[in-house]
Structure 1
Amino acid sequence: MQDLQAKAELVYRELVALHGFNQLVPRREPMHELISTMLSHQTTEANEERGYQNLRSTFPTWEAVLAAPVEAVAEAIKPANYAPAKAKNIQAALAKILAERGEISINFLAELSTEAAMAWLTGLRGVGPKTASLVLLFCFSKPILPVDTHVHRVSQRLGLVKAKTPTEAHEILWQLLPHDAEWLFNYHVALLRHGQRICLAQRPRCSQCPLTAQCLWYAANQAK
């Protein structure tokens, strides 16, 4: 475990140096973050944004989204792909938030522990560990790591985790990495950018990577 923790620290230093350090500041209002992240599954960032903006221009309040026919919500978010399923999930999440909190707001999560906030968010339909952790880290600066396909792929290739899915990798990395919000935010951003720019799913650009000496995938597939 200590060897893996030291390796994770090295990965952090090298990739933050390569891709830049970022201040952890809220990027979007919490309900915006929640719904946008629900829309982001299996689509592009541009289509996620189009779907969200269509939704808000068609239904200016969350109460209006909840009250609308599910078909109308699906039509509004159509650019984000898988619209019928996402529309049902969004309305179910909004209904639960309203029923439990008396208003459609998740600002109360700021007062909960990370564990309690994760448990509450993942109790919403269509909200898994990645969505919940993104909301909690990006909006409330809680020490949690969002694990998407890029973070999972890079961590796996480097030998930090042995997990088939991002969901499985989430708990492993949580046990391995420091529980510091800014550190986890920069680990997430650095590995995300590395996965998008260099450690590609197909034909990774290993010649541009500073971590080939630590990379199990490189040793097995590229090193001669």
Structure 2
Amino acid sequence: MTTLDQSGKTRLVHELLNQQYGIQAIRGRLEPLHELIATVLSHRTTHANEVTAFRTMMERFGSWEAIRDAPVEELTAAIQTANYPEVKAPYIKQILSRIIAERGDANIDFLRDMTTEDAMAWLNALPGVGPKTSTLLLLFNFQKPVLPVDTHVHRVSQRLGLIGPKVSAEKAHAILLAYLPQDATVLFNFHRHFYWHGQRVCTWSYPKCPQCVLKTQCDYFQGENKRNTNRTYV
């Protein structure tokens, strides 16, 4: 399939999900620095455990500066509900140290005035921060035209055949972004709808293919039909 075909298919499934879920306005969930640190905590853990870890951390230390200065063992204990707290605690301390040292304050609102490329580069240079974290922050909080690819977006995109089976989530950021208009509202809705669809319909196990509005466009569904016409979906 050519790039043009892939772009057309990507836009088509995006429109179908727009109809399914409705157009959403861009909204930041949290204050930008809160969003950044919460996203670091969220890696490979549940939202509930992320929220508990963040709340416990703030209750115990009270400020970004106190978290920066906390002994790493104490910070690790405070965020223990998040998976891999022994990895995340040093990252959080290093991130806060760098931001405060460079900016003189625990604040990253300056990213709003940077170009998308410069803001991405600045964030990706922080310890423990990669494309998923950077794009989530820049799209949700600053309405930059970037596309976050989490596990749900990645899985749905692969099953549809928008990206190849060996394409990593990191590489998928650029591939999928190239297929879509460089408009923050479009990209926000693409991300949200693919995220919801992966949670509710195109689940990791037992995808609900018969009720999926994308099944006629889906390589996975068509392939499963060819391999086993007697397969039972739930």
Q: Does the pair score TM above 0.5?
A: yes
Cα deviations by residue, 1:157-205 (Å, 9 ceiling, x for unpaired): 1111124321121111121211100000000000000001110111111
Is contact 1:52-1:77 (8 Å) kept?
yes
The one-letter amino acid paired with 1:185 is F
Is contact 2:11-2:179 (8 Å) kept?
no
Q: State the match for 1:201 in structure 2.
A: 204
**Where in structure 1 do 4 or more consecutive aligned residues deviate above 3 Å?**
none
The one-letter amino acid paired with 1:167 is E
Is contact 1:147-1:170 (8 Å) kept?
yes
Q: State the match for 1:127 in structure 2.
A: 129
Cα deviations by residue, 1:67-99 (Å, 9 ceiling, x for unpaired): 110111111111112111100110011111112
Q: For 2:81, what is the secondary structure of its paired residue?
A: helix
Identical aligned residues as a percent:
48
Write the mapping of 1:1-224 to structure 2, written as runs, cut at 5 A: 1-162=3-164, 163-223=166-226, 224=229
Q: For 1:125, what is the secondary structure of its paired residue?
A: coil
Count how many residue pairs are aligned between Structure 1 and Structure 2. 224
Is contact 1:154-1:199 (8 Å) kept?
yes
What's the TM-score once normalised by structure 1's chain length? 0.97
Is contact 1:147-1:166 (8 Å) kept?
yes
C-alpha distance in 1 between matches for 2:110 and 2:70: 26
C-alpha distance in 2 between matches for 1:165 and 1:203: 22
What displacement does 1:150 show?
A: 0.5
Q: State the match for 2:232 in structure 1.
A: none
C-alpha distance in 1 between matches for 2:219 and 2:30: 37
Q: Which runs of 5+ in 1 are unaligned?
A: none
What displacement does 1:211 show?
A: 1.1
C-alpha distance in 1 between matches for 2:215 and 2:99: 46
Is contact 1:19-1:194 (8 Å) kept?
no
What displacement does 1:4 show?
A: 1.5
Task: Identify which range, 100-109 or 61-70, moves more after superposition.
Answer: 100-109
C-alpha distance in 2 between matches for 1:128 and 1:25: 21
Cα deviations by residue, 1:83-120 (Å, 9 ceiling, x for unpaired): 11100110011111112112121110000011110000
Is contact 1:145-1:170 (8 Å) kept?
yes
C-alpha distance in 1 between matches for 2:12 and 2:93: 43
Is contact 1:97-1:105 (8 Å) kept?
yes
Q: Once superposed, what is the RMSD of the aligned Cα atoms? A: 1.1
Q: For 1:199, what is the secondary structure of its paired residue?
A: coil
Greater Rg over alpha carbons, structure? 2
What displacement does 1:21 show?
A: 2.0
Q: Which runs of 5+ in 2 are unaligned?
A: 230-234
